[in-house]
Amino acid sequence: MRIAKDSARLPNTGWIGRIGGVAALAVALAIAASPAAAVAKKKHQATNAFAGTGVVDATEAPAAACGATFSSCCTISSGGMYTMSANISTAITSGTCVSISTSNVTINMAGFTITDTKSGNTAAGISMTGATNDYLEGANGTVTGFATGVSVNPGSSFGTRNAYVDSVNVTSNTAAGIHAAGNNVSISSISAGSNLNGVEFDVCAGCSLNFGDIENNTAYGIWVNDSTNTAIGGIFTASNTSAGIYVGCNSTPGSGSCGGTHGNNTKIFNGLTDSNTYGVYIEEGETANNVAYTDGSSNTTDDAFARNDATCSNTNWFENVFGTASPACIPL
C-alpha cells in the first residue's frame, strides 16, 4: 500500500515512531529484494564543488566535557545518556559544537535547538565519529546555522559499526543538513529544509533514510553519492532546486557519467516527490537500482529521469505513478 501524502510529511515521533519506521523499512526492503524487483562498488572520488563538504574537523570540538545534562557546546568521550537542558547558541567558525567520539552514547536533544550565529562558518552542529552504537534522539530538536547540521561517520568496519539519528530537524545549514558516511547509518523521522543538500550519503555503505520531509533545499533533497546498498523509504521531497532524490556523483545533474560505482544498488520505495526540478534522477552509469511504489508530480523537468539508460537496464522501475518520465522505458 502506498503512503498518503500527509503521512509522508510525518512529524518527528521519537523512539515509538522509530520502532514503527524500522518495521516499515524491513517490509519495504523485503519487497525491493524480491525477484520481481531484483536489481559493485568501486570507490570513485567525486570532483565537484561541494561533494563531501559535510565532513568537518571534529578534533576542534570544545575542550569541556558534557555533563549528563548540558546546555553549551561540549565533548562526549564516555558512554552513557546525555540530555540537553536548554537551547544552545554559539558563534564558532569551525569544529563541532557537540562532538561524540566514543561508543554506546545516547544524546536526547529534548526538543531544544542548537544554533550557530556565525555566518560563513565551516562547523558542524553535532558530530558522531569513529564509534559504534551511538544514538541521536532529537525529540523534535533542531540544528541550524552550521555548515553541516549533523555529521555521522561511525567508521568502515561493516557489520560492527552503526549510528542512529532520529526525530531531528536540520534547517539552513550551508553544506548538508545531515551528512552520513561510513557504514550502517540509520536516519529516521527527520525534516531537512533550506540547506544546500538535505541529506547526503557520501561513501556510506548499508545506510538508510526511513521517513522524512525534505523540502526547499538549494541543491538536492537527498543525494546518494559514492554509496552502495542505500535504502530510502517513506519520504516526501518538494521544491528542492536540482532534484528531490539524486543518485550520482555530480553537483550539477548530467554533467558526467559516474562509471557505475557512485550510487549502485540504491533502493527508493514508497515515496512522494513533487515540485522539484527533477523528482528522481538516476545518473548515467549508476547500476542495479530499484525505484518502487513512488509517486511524482509537478516536477518542472521530469518526475523520473534516468540519464542515458534507454532500455532501463540499470534501474528497475516498479509500480510507480509518474506524470512525466524519461526515457520512455520508465512506466508512468
Cβ distance 280 to 244 under 8 Å? yes
- Could you tell me what percent of the chain has a pLDDT over 70? 79
Instruction: Render pLDDT for 152-171 as a digit per residue (tens, 0 to 9).
Output: 999 876 556 789 999 999 99
Please, which pLDDT band fits residue 174 given cuts at 50, 70 and 90? very high
174 assigned to some structural domain: yes
195 assigned to some structural domain: yes
User: What range defines the domain where residue 197 resides?
Assistant: 5-326
332 assigned to some structural domain: no
Residue 160 pLDDT: 61
Instruction: Render pLDDT for 274-320 as a digit per residue (tens, 0 to 9).
Output: 999 999 999 998 899 999 999 999 999 999 999 999 999 999 999 99
Return the higher-pLDDT residue of 121 and 131: 121
* CA dihedral of 79, 11, 227, 325, whole degrees rounded to 10: 180
CATH classification of the domain holding 93: 2.160.20
Q: Centre a 10 Å sphere on the Cβ of residue 73 and count the other Cβ atoms it contains.
A: 23
Please, which pLDDT band fits residue 236 given cuts at 50, 70 and 90? very high
All cell numbers assigned to 129: 565519529
178 assigned to some structural domain: yes
- Mean pLDDT within 220-248: 96
Residue 254 pLDDT: 83
35 assigned to some structural domain: yes
Pick the closest to residue 245 from 262, 276, 221 (CA basis): 221
Please, which pLDDT band fits residue 264 given cuts at 50, 70 and 90? confident
Instruction: Output the average pLDDT for the chain.
Output: 84
189 assigned to some structural domain: yes
Tally of domains in the chain? 1
Instruction: Render pLDDT for 67-118 as a digit per residue (tens, 0 to 9).
Output: 999 999 999 999 999 999 999 999 999 999 999 999 999 999 999 999 999 9
All cell numbers assigned to 28: 519495504
129 assigned to some structural domain: yes
Res 56 pLDDT > 90: no
